[in-house]
Amino acid sequence: MTTLVPEEFAPLERQSTAELIAERLRIAIMRGVLAPGAQLGEASLAAQFAVSRGPLREAMQRLVSEGLLRSERNRGIFVIELTDEDVHDVYRSRAAIERAALECIMSGDTVTAYRRLLVPVAVMTEAAVRGDIVAVTDADQDFHEVLVDSSGSPRLRRAMRTLLLETRMLLGELQGAYPDLTDQVREHEVLCAAIGAGDAPAAYRLIEEHMHDAVARLMARRGSAGAPVE
């Protein structure tokens, strides 16, 4: 009879109500359902989730500690608002991470990376044909996660994960910034093609242009001047 390793076969932990609520709120924030600056009403949310206020408050405090919500004395809890400087900082950080990921890919197995990236590109293409902006946005984020994951670097993966929530919030803000969704798809198609062709200079140039373009579109939607991503 096989003896199972205790640690690896320990009973699975069930998520608490607060954890489930926190995850729902994260998704709502990332997808823009809870817009930046929106106030969270305890009574209405408790009714919507069909829970008491105790686990709801615990969930909201978790998101405050994660930096997705802010608590204002005598006012309540609000979704954070990313400033123009935050936008530049997020994309500056992403540019550095994704450029480094590309360097790893281009000096390694470009074929496997290319094949993996074709999946989110295909999903994005189909979503664009349907006019499904949310699905295009989800596939956009998936593309960049796969790109960094394909680097094989655990540290780049961890660095990318720290930016995922803010990135998704900004991608939500970008919804509607592409009058023609095929333009958004095309930016990813050409980068994917450069990787597949093993064209490192083109891949590096395209990822920089992609980050610059995103910042410019965000700043245009905000009515702000877009400084270049360094």
- Over residues 156-211, the pLDDT tens digits come to 999 998 888 888 888 888 877 888 899 999 999 999 999 999 999 999 999 999 99
Q: Considering Cα of 30, then 36, then 38, then 41, what sign does the dihedral take?
A: positive
The pLDDT score that the predictor gives to residue 125 is 97
The pLDDT score that the predictor gives to residue 171 is 84
Measured CA to CA, the distance from residue 68 to residue 169 in angstroms comes to: 10
Give the pLDDT band of residue 13 (cuts 50, 70, 90).
low
Q: Which domains does the chain have, with CATH numbers?
A: 17-79 (1.10.10.10), 84-222 (1.20.120.530)
- Residues 6+ positions from 109 with CB-CB distance below 8 Å: none
User: Is 163 in a helix, a strand, or coil?
Assistant: coil
Closest CA to 181 of 133, 144, 123, 219: 133
Question: Does the structure show a pLDDT above 70 at 4?
Answer: no
The pLDDT score that the predictor gives to residue 14 is 65
Question: Does the structure show a pLDDT above 70 at 1?
Answer: no
Give the pLDDT band of residue 228 (cuts 50, 70, 90).
very low
As given in the structure block, the two tokens for residue 44 are 């209405």
pLDDT digits (tens, 9 = 90+) for 36-87: 899 999 999 999 999 999 999 999 999 999 888 999 998 999 999 999 999 9
pLDDT digits (tens, 9 = 90+) for 83-103: 999 999 999 999 999 999 999
